[in-house]
Amino acid sequence: MTHYKSLEAWRKSMILVRHVYIIAKRYPKEELFALPSQTKRAAVSVPANIAEGIGRNYKRDTIQFLHIARGSLYKLETLLNIAVMVEIMSENKFEPFTNLIDETVRILNRLIKSYETNTALK
């Protein structure tokens, strides 16, 4: 079994969490319990689901949790897009996030594919 901390997808998603928490601190105070909260939860969901998936004993469970992590990445990107749309975040601040999200999705897709094609796993 692979230790989740050694996975590039987990490490990249942890970097993403750090950046999301930093940017969420800059959201307006009236948004405190709305968009920043949902954005942080979506970001945290990614490495948490990767770790939980890797910790499962069954290939099917692992793949399912990796899919959930990927869904959380898409949700995170949508929430950040909303922040840009309602002018909480500038397009310039959003671009590095979208690049990191895209990169993490590609890495996660490769990980999912490797689990799906590895017949040695149960």
CA distance 45 to 13: 9
Per-residue tens of pLDDT for the chain, all 122 residues: 458 999 999 999 999 999 999 999 888 888 767 899 999 999 999 999 999 999 988 899 999 999 999 999 999 999 999 999 999 999 999 999 999 999 999 999 999 999 999 866 66
Phi, psi of 57 (to 5 degrees): -90, -10
What is the pTM (predicted TM-score) of this model? 0.91
Of the candidates 100, 120, 99, 90, the one whose C-alpha atom is nearest the C-alpha of residue 47 is 100
CATH of domain 4-117: 1.20.1440.60
The alpha-helical segments, DSSP class H, found in 1-122 are 8-24, 35-55, 59-85, 91-117
